[in-house]
Amino acid sequence: MRARETQATQKSKAHNRPSLRLRAALPWLCLLVAASGVSRAQISPGPLSRAHQSLSGVTQCTSCHNLGSGGGGGALKCLECHTEIAQRLKVNQGFHAGVVKHDNPNKDCVRCHSEHNGEDFRLIHWEPSQEKFDHNKAGYPLDGKHAGLECRQCHNSTRIDAQFRPLIREKDLNRSFLGLARACASCHRDFHEGRLGKECQTCHNTSNWKDTTKFDHSRTRYPLTGEHIRVACAKCHTPAEPGGAPRFTGLKFSTCAACHADPHHGAFQKDCSSCHSTAGWKQLSSAGLSSQFDHDKTAYPLRGKHSAVNCLVCHRNGNFKAPVPHALCADCHKPDPHSGQFARRKDGGKCESCHNVEGFKPSTYTVKDHATSGFPLEAAHAKTECAKCHLPAGAATKFKIKFALCLDCHKDAHQGQFAAAPLLNRCESCHNISAFSPSTYTMARHKQTRFPLTDGHIAVPCADCHAAKKQDFNAAVPYHFKDVTCTTCHEDVHKGQFQRFTSKARPDGRVLGCEACHNLKDWADMTKFDHDRQTTFVLIGAHKGTACIQCHKPENLETTMRHVSFKSAPSECEGCHDDPHARQFARDGRNPGCKSCHNTNKWKPSTFDHEQTVFSLRGAHQDVKCNACHKEIREVEGKRTLFYRPVPKECADCHGPRVNAK
């Protein structure tokens, strides 16, 4: 497109050269131009962009439009000029292949590239921008390190395929986005020089060139096994000459000697693999060795783990003819792993007394052998691993250890609570070697302490009283208590209300505690508590048979008396009982109390003395029932209440006016 614009410019300059013919025709030409300006404005919808300036003019319309096809402006012929785009559409590749409809590709061009909008109009509009263009739409996703490249690092004239160059109409090929090949070698140097094919992605990826984990060596003629797997590629694939590219083909690998030097200097005729393997040079094949050399014919047949030992461990420097001392294990195995701890034994500390050639561990020293020592292993000790007692692990392990006391091996679980006489931390006083738990401490021995177990305490598990603190995981279980009163283990549900009783001493000097009122057999048995003697409220009459909870009421709707405030219990009748008389006997704001008319034996009959009132009951009145005179019923706070006052006092009020009051 730019080339055509340049050609039009050159033609325009040539036409502007002075000539006699042009001067003669100039007046007529001016008239023609003046007349054609009006008609051109009616034909062209507007000036062309700068890229299409060479196509401006009424005589150039058919260069882009096919006027014979009808419609406004006729069919477009974009692809007749832009043959590079036509070629991409033909092979269905590139960005345009995804946006152009194949039934009429010329028509689709104007959807993105609009013309006749002026010389400065931009024909190409990137969405959202050239830098943020979605390269997936071009059919070549950018991933790995490709994603961070600038457009022109790839899209430049040096990388355009030579076969595609003639098709591009752009004069400056550095402005084109066409013509790149997809092969890696079109941008990157082929370090393998074509020997491994063109599909680089078979072994490499776009994120890291040196990451060749995709390459599967097992599919080659030399699969990697054993130690070969960990060998760096460059160790085997060396350049043919200094500074050259690594060789990946043409390498010799039929024998080990192709890569490795012969450490035996030709002493053995067979291939290395007859004794060695790729698993490790020192991992020798016993079958291979036996086929090469029969060690049983020597003074030292190889048995157990000795048969797998590398020859050079014993035959230093590869000298197989030099004598090797072998009478004692210590001739080869130095230093002594036990540091001479068994040198004073009768056998001089021979290793075979406790070990064999099958392996240093486990030891062949048995529990039966241990019985010959100063500490026979019995019960749980017989099942204990050696390393539990013989510490530390490794070369510094001690086998001659102290064992007179349990604490020589075992941690004091009681943290010195029994260090004093008479026990002196002798664990066997309460435990045996079968198991630490249960203890052998008996009930009879507990009776010898400050706190003999009797009654209900006998059935209590030890752990209920002797329990470690929940928040302190390192604390020992307490067995010695400074205070052995009830509240050491039990909650004082009375919150000290009975301190004056519980603090009294027994004959042996210990305080009574809860036993001032309760006993050890049954907490609910309160026979020790004397309400008449220990309180100011003597229980007589009906009160004596009343349950405690009826007067000493628990808080918060509880059903037990665990949190009752006993001292706050009322001592007056109205503190517990409702006033059935609705305070009609109160005087001057004071209630005379129920006891003025009733007693605790029975609410009815009343002890009320009518003679103390202004109306004495004598004569026939003495036998009259109360409700014959006291009849007035009132409703007070939703209850029907009999009111005793006022009542008539005159005879006529009850008996009529004819009655003689005298």
In tens, the pLDDT along 520-554 reads 999 888 888 999 988 989 999 999 989 988 899 88
Rounded CA-CA distance 532/291 in Å is: 110
Among 17-31, 476-490, 529-543, the minimum mean pLDDT is found in: 17-31
| pLDDT recorded at residue 263 | 80
Would you say residue 7 has pLDDT above 50?
no
Biggest CA pair distance of the chain: 177
Would you say residue 12 has pLDDT above 90?
no
Q: Residue 636: which residues within 8 A CB-CB, separation 6 or more?
A: 582
Count the Cβ atoms, other than its own, within 10 Å of residue 414: 17
Determine the length of the chain. Answer: 662
Rounded CA-CA distance 49/53 in Å is: 6
| pLDDT recorded at residue 396 | 87
DSSP code of residue 320 = S
Which tokens is 255 given? 């024998």
Q: Is 274 exposed, middle or buried (0-12, 13-18, 19+ CB in 10 A)?
A: middle
Q: What are phi and psi of 383, to 5 degrees?
A: -100, 0
Query: For the whole prediction, is pTM greater than 0.95?
Result: no
Would you say residue 46 has pLDDT above 70?
yes
| pLDDT recorded at residue 297 | 81
Q: Is 96 exposed, middle or buried (0-12, 13-18, 19+ CB in 10 A)?
A: buried
Mean pLDDT, residues 171-186 taken together: 91
DSSP code of residue 74 = -
Mean pLDDT, residues 548-567 taken together: 86
| pLDDT recorded at residue 18 | 34
Q: Name which of 358, 356, 392, 386 is nearest 373 in CA terms.
A: 386
Q: Name which of 644, 623, 621, 619 is nearest 633 in CA terms.
A: 644
Question: SS3 string of 601-658?
Answer: CCCCCCCCCHHHCCCCCCHHHHHCCHHHHCCCEEEECCEEEECCCCCCCCHHHHHCCC
Q: Name which of 492, 489, 491, 479 is nearest 449 in CA terms.
A: 479
Rounded CA-CA distance 529/610 in Å is: 40
Which carries the bigger pLDDT value, residue 593 or residue 426?
426
Q: Which residue has the tokens 């009478």?
A: 327
Would you say residue 459 has pLDDT above 80?
yes
Would you say residue 336 has pLDDT above 50?
yes
| Contact between residue 3 and residue 53 where contact means Cβ atoms under 8 Å apart | no
SS3 172: coil
Task: Give residue-wise pLDDT tens across range 71-80.
Answer: 555 688 999 9
Rounded CA-CA distance 514/502 in Å is: 6
| pLDDT recorded at residue 277 | 86
Which carries the bigger pLDDT value, residue 556 or residue 50?
50
Average pLDDT for the chain: 85
| Contact between residue 602 and residue 568 where contact means Cβ atoms under 8 Å apart | no
Task: Give residue-wise pLDDT tens across range 410-457.
Answer: 999 999 999 998 888 899 999 999 999 999 999 999 998 989 999 999
Mean pLDDT, residues 345-368 taken together: 91
| Contact between residue 479 and residue 417 where contact means Cβ atoms under 8 Å apart | yes
| pLDDT recorded at residue 315 | 85
| pLDDT recorded at residue 14 | 36
Q: What angle do CA 632, 633, 637 make, to 5 degrees?
A: 140
Rounded CA-CA distance 580/131 in Å is: 98
Task: Give residue-wise pLDDT tens across range 191-246.
Answer: 888 888 899 999 999 999 889 888 999 999 999 999 999 999 999 999 988 988 88
Among 77-81, 87-91, 265-269, 469-473, the minimum mean pLDDT is found in: 265-269
State what percent of residues in the chain have pLDDT above 70. 90
Q: Residue 601: which residues within 8 A CB-CB, separation 6 or more?
A: 540, 541, 542
Cis peptide before 605 (omega within 30 of 0): yes
Parallel, antiparallel or unpaired: strands 65-66 and 75-76: antiparallel
| pLDDT recorded at residue 592 | 77
Rounded CA-CA distance 277/280 in Å is: 6
Q: What are the contacts of 493-502 at 24+ separation with CB within 8 A?
A: 493/562, 493/563, 494/564, 494/566, 497/565, 497/566, 497/567, 498/566, 501/534
Would you say residue 30 has pLDDT above 90?
no
| pLDDT recorded at residue 285 | 60
Among 210-219, 280-289, 381-390, 412-421, the minimum mean pLDDT is found in: 280-289
